[in-house]
Amino acid sequence: MIEMFFTDSNFEAYRNLIYNESGIHFTATNRSILESRLKEILRTKNIPTVDEYLVRISNDKEELKAFLDSITTNLTRFFRNQAHFDALENFVVPELLKIKKEGNQTIRVWSAGCSTGEEPYTIAMLLSEILPPAFKFEIIASDISLKCLMSAKEGFYPESRITGVPEAYLKKYFDKVEGGFKIHADFQNKIRFDYHNLKNDPGQRGIDIVFCRNVIIYFDEAAQNAVINRFWDAMANKSFLFIGHSESLFGMDTKFEFVNTKWATLYKKFI
């Protein structure tokens, strides 16, 4: 049995490291979540103290990645917040089709904080249905959680996780396999899954649509500002940003403009 002491100064040291490495802000209210995850890690790795583990993750990049992975919240689902997909279909895509008429016929999407893939697969299914044949799309889906990315790439979802997928899409884009459904292999290739920490510049440019939903809610204001400004740099001159319905750019130092559509609210970069 491992003795576990998680003092105030331990908490301070861990929350600083997590914040500096990922932007995720652990408040005093969710200290117990961190504590219970650490308990589990120490037990499985047979490490006696939180101090020792802190030294290890501070000196070993791979160990640090695994730790950050373990403290993320990955809740997601297909067609999460349907209103966003209604706005994508009825407002954003028609706008982009007008803008792109004379130019590049590819719509580039980034699902930032894609978790286990439900969000980018939802976008891919919808765009496949609604884009005119002359248009193509590319989706980059990224996350800080390697476990989630592996599961997203595999594209297998147990029955309990495919609720919300319309019957017709299920037939068209998935194979029924034992215990659940698997995204068609050729459809999986439409999405590039990448490890990316939103603390860093993605190196992307010319993105038409960014989905970053239910991610910045875990960041403090300074980290939110930094991420949002990095999106600005990554996005095309006429492009759109979706954030979670409980998130807002209100009060932030950003040039994104608020758009209130009939379906949902979003932001645009129009320069």
Ligand X SMILES: C[S@@+](CC[C@H](N)C(=O)[O-])C[C@H]1O[C@@H](n2cnc3c(N)ncnc32)[C@H](O)[C@@H]1O
Residues contributing to the site for ligand X (CB under 6 A): 22-24, 72-76, 80, 113-115, 119, 143-145, 148, 197-199, 213-215, 218, 244
We find the least distance from the C-beta atom of residue 178 to ligand X, in angstroms, to be: 26
C-beta closer to ligand X: residue 197 or 254 = 197
We find the least distance from the C-beta atom of residue 49 to ligand X, in angstroms, to be: 26
We find the least distance from the C-beta atom of residue 74 to ligand X, in angstroms, to be: 4
Residue 227 to residues 67, 157, 213: CA-CA distances in angstroms?
Answer: 21, 30, 12
C-beta closer to ligand X: residue 21 or 95 = 21
The tokens describing 74, both together, are 């990955």
We find the least distance from the C-beta atom of residue 25 to ligand X, in angstroms, to be: 10
- Strand-pairing partners, residue 182, are 156, 175
C-beta closer to ligand X: residue 95 or 119 = 119
The phi and psi torsions of 51 (rounded to 5 degrees) equal -60, -45
C-beta closer to ligand X: residue 81 or 90 = 81
We find the least distance from the C-beta atom of residue 2 to ligand X, in angstroms, to be: 27
Task: Name the strand (E) or helix (H) holding 97.
Answer: helix 93-100
C-beta closer to ligand X: residue 214 or 239 = 214
C-beta closer to ligand X: residue 180 or 244 = 244
User: Residue 28's Cα: distance from chain center in Å?
Assistant: 24
